[in-house]
Structures are given as structure tokens and as C-alpha cells.
Amino acid sequence: MEGTIKIKLVRSPICTPEKHKRVVKGLGLRKVNQVVERPDTPVFRGMVKKVPHLLSVVE
């Protein structure tokens, strides 16, 4: 797994558990529809899998 993945925040984490908010913040996402580019590593893939209802991977 090399390169980068683009992660987009598609729903607000306002009414979600604190752990979900920390995952979103850890990815560097603050606003809805914001897209960030992160290394395509198992660490970031795992973070995305924790909150699939809030994020989407942009290809």
C-alpha cells in the first residue's frame, strides 16, 4: 500500500460518541465536505473503518 488516500467528511460528528469525534479530529477534518489527503497506510485505513458513516474515501 503506497501513495495517498483522499478522505472526505460527509456527515457532521456533532451527535456522535466522543471516540468518533476524536477519530475525525485525528484525521484533520473540521468541516463537512472538507477533503484531506493522508498516506495510504493501515493506520489511516483503520481510522476510516471506525467511522464509515461519517467519512467517504474519494477516488
Write down all domains in the chain, each with its CATH number in brackets: 4-48 (3.30.1390.20)
pLDDT tens per residue, range 2-58: 799 999 999 999 999 999 999 999 999 999 999 999 999 999 999 999 999 999 999
Q: What is the pLDDT of residue 7?
A: 97
pTM of the model: 0.90
For residues 58 and 44, give the distance between their C-alpha atoms in angstroms, rounded to a whole number: 14
Is pLDDT of 1 > 90?
no
